[in-house]
Amino acid sequence: MTTLLQLTFAGLSLGAVYALISLGWTVLFQVARIYNLAQGAFVVVSAMTYIALADDLGWPVPLAVAGALAVCLALGLALYGVILNRRTARGEAGPIVMSLGSALVIAETLRYLWGVDARTAAAFLPTGPVRIMGATAVPHAMLLWTGTAAMFGAAWLLFHRTLLGKALRACAESATAAQVVGIDPRRMRLAAFGVAALFGGVGGILLAPLIAVSPHEVLPLGIFGFIGAVVGRWRYLPAAAGSVLLGLITSYAGGYGATSWQNAVLYGSVIAALLTMRQRRPGHRPLSGVRGLVRRGDRTPVTEAAGP
pLDDT at position 258 is: 65
Half-sphere exposure of 294 (CA within 13 A, CB side): 21
- pLDDT in the model for residue 50: 93
Task: Write the single-letter amino acid at 287.
Answer: L
Cβ atoms of 143 and 17 closer than 8 Å:
no
Handedness of CA 107, 108, 110, 114 (dihedral sign): positive
Could you give the 3-state DSSP secondary structure of residue 268?
helix
Q: Where are the alpha helices (DSSP H) in the chain?
A: 2-32, 39-51, 61-83, 93-114, 139-161, 163-173, 175-180, 185-207, 218-231, 236-252, 259-279
Q: What pLDDT, on the 0 to 100 scale, is given for residue 277?
A: 60
pLDDT of 211-230, one tens digit each? 888 888 888 888 888 888 88
pLDDT at position 273 is 67
The HSE-up count of residue 251 (CA atoms within 13 Å, CB side) is: 20
Using a cut of 0.85, tell me whether the model's pTM lies above it. no
Q: Output the pLDDT for position 53.
A: 93
Dump pLDDT digits (tens) for 126-154. 777 777 777 778 888 888 889 899 988 88
pLDDT in tens, 190-203: 888 998 899 899 98
The widest CA-to-CA distance across the chain, in whole angstroms, is 59
To 10 degrees, the CA torsion angle through 20, 24, 26, 32?
180
Q: How many CB atoms lie within 10 A of CB 308?
A: 8
**Residue 215: which residues within 8 A CB-CB, separation 6 or more?**
44, 48, 107, 108, 110, 111, 114, 116
CB–CB of 103/42 below 8 Å? no
pLDDT at 302 (0 to 100): 39
Find, among 151, 147, 162, the residue nearest to 236 by Cα: 151
| Angle in degrees, CA 147, 271, 205, rounded to 5 | 20
Residue ranges of the chain whose pLDDT lies below 70:
1, 86-92, 257-260, 262, 270, 273-274, 276-308
CA 5 – CA 213 distance, rounded (Å): 25
Helix (H) or strand (E) segment spanning residue 132? strand 130-132
Span between the terminal Cα atoms of the chain, in Å: 56
Burial call 237-268: b when 16+ CB within 10 Å, e when fewer = ebbbbbbbbbbbbbbbbbbeeeeebbeebbee
Contacts of 260 (CB under 8 A, 6+ apart): none
DSSP 125: S
